A and B are shown apart, each in its own frame.
Chain A
Amino acid sequence: AVKPHPRKKKPKYDLPVPSIHNRSPANNGGQPCKKHELYVSFSDLGWKDWVLAPTGYSAYYCDGECFYPLGSCMNATNHAVIQQVVHLMKPDDVPKACCAPTKLSPISVLFYDDNNNVILKKHRNMVVKTCGC
């Protein structure tokens, strides 16, 4: 059981604050932590003349809440489970576990250099494979 913080005043109104980033559960329906679509388009950046392939790639991003108890669908690490429990005991001291990539994969980019030579480079950690808490 967590004792209420003696000095902390109970906020009068807890209206959810509308903002893009820290969306409160009110408007994203308390979505659990998961992978979301994010496409990076090289052609939108005006690079079609020198990037041979790909024209863009799905980079994805992780977003959502790490609710307690962290279900197996949230792909939570043991560390996150512990952090979550401690957060419940001391919400002001320890933040909630956060939703982040747990597996990333590379992409290969094929492009021309200034001398029309063709270069194929592999770049690591460019695509989110799995998210978790």
Chain B
Amino acid sequence: LWSQQAEGLVHSSFRRLSGREKKEMQKEILSILGLPGRPRPHPPLRPPSSAPLFMLDLYHAMSADGEDEGNEIIVNGPGMGKFAGAERLAQVSHAVLPTLSTHTPPLGTVVSEADTVMSFVNLVEQERDLLQPRPYWKEFRFDLTPLPQGETVTAAEFRIYKTLTMGQRANRTLHISVYEIQRETRHREPELVLLDMQSVPAGQEGWLAFDVTSASNHWLLHPRSNLGIRLYVETEEDRSLSAGWIGLVGRRGPRSKQPFMVTFFRESQVPCRPPR
């Protein structure tokens, strides 16, 4: 009888958490996640736009690979894990959001060094007025300030979706180049630094990923130097085209195809939690 009562006592101890216990648990888990407090994103969050969709696929790829990974306990030593199965991640990422060209940095090598992956929605978008003389361009800007200071970005990609457009000869090759805007001067063209360029068949559709690692590290070190990136499109005859004409989706496109930026970075120190 007594042991049944004891068992009853044991099971009854797993009652639903009280308000205070819940707050305690939330505080502990937030401190493990390295968050100062509970984030408060503003709706609407559903349906998820392109960045969460991409990140959700990355999450599933990592979770599938993380299963066979485990840390041997090194007594009194921090368990050092590494992103495992990064090659598979590269396949999944390109399989899920196929980039039109193979130029992008192989996610595998990048993810294996990263601790955290962050995606940023496009903040500002402006483009050259079509009534102005060529060349046409489109600019994008991302707010990287949420990245914890002092981190090193191991890779950063700018992702933009290309749809099919009428009137384009499918077998024509388009040259799309992405520059970092380094310095703006009144009445003159800004100083640009080439980040990445890709040649894309006009008749294909899908995600394009440009390597913007050097720019994002630069912005991380000098946040005020973040003037964004500029994108140009040219034909093989060096004729400048507007991004919209060739089907590149901007902020006004469908949410699941809007451009975004994704950064992989490594935290320099394992976050130590304050003693309590």
Binding site for B on A (CB under 8 A): 18, 20, 23, 26-27, 40, 44-47, 49-50, 52-54, 100-126, 129-130
Contact = CB atoms under 8 A, between A and B. Distances in A.
Contacts of B72: 102-103
Contact of B17 (A26, A44, A53, A108): A44
The 3 closest A-B pairs by CB, nearest first: A112-B41, A105-B70, A120-B117
11 contacts: A20-B13, A44-B22, A50-B38, A50-B41, A52-B56, A52-B59, A105-B67, A108-B62, A108-B66, A113-B39, A119-B119
Interface stretch (B27-35, B160-168, B183-191): B27-35
A120 B65 CA distance: 15
A18 B7 CA distance: 9
A20 B66 CA distance: 34
A117 B38 contact: no
Contacts of B143: 115
Contact of A122 (B9, B45, B116): B116
A120 B10 CA distance: 37
A76 B63 CA distance: 29
Nearest to B52: A118
B80 A118 contact: no
Contacts of B55: 52, 110, 118, 120
Contact of B73 (A40, A54, A103, A108): A103
Given A118-B118, A120-B62, A27 B7 contact: yes
A117 B148 CA distance: 13
A120 B59 contact: yes
Q: For A18, A53, A104, A108, which residue has the most chain B Cβ atoms within 10 angstroms?
A: A108
A103 B71 contact: yes
A85 B41 CA distance: 56
B146 A117 contact: yes
B2 A122 contact: no
A44 B18 CA distance: 11
Nearest to A29: B3
Interface residues of B, number: 53
Contact of A116 (B10, B71, B78, B121): B121
A121 B79 CA distance: 16
B121 A45 contact: no
Nearest to A47: B38
A18 B62 contact: no
A23 B146 contact: no
Contact of B25 (A20, A45, A108): A45
A6 to B, nearest CB: 34
A101 B118 contact: no
Contact of A117 (B2, B73, B121): B121
B111 to A, nearest CB: 10
B115 interface: yes
Interface string B1-13: 0110111011001
Given A20-B10, A121-B115, A123-B32, A108 B63 contact: yes
A110 to B, nearest CB: 4
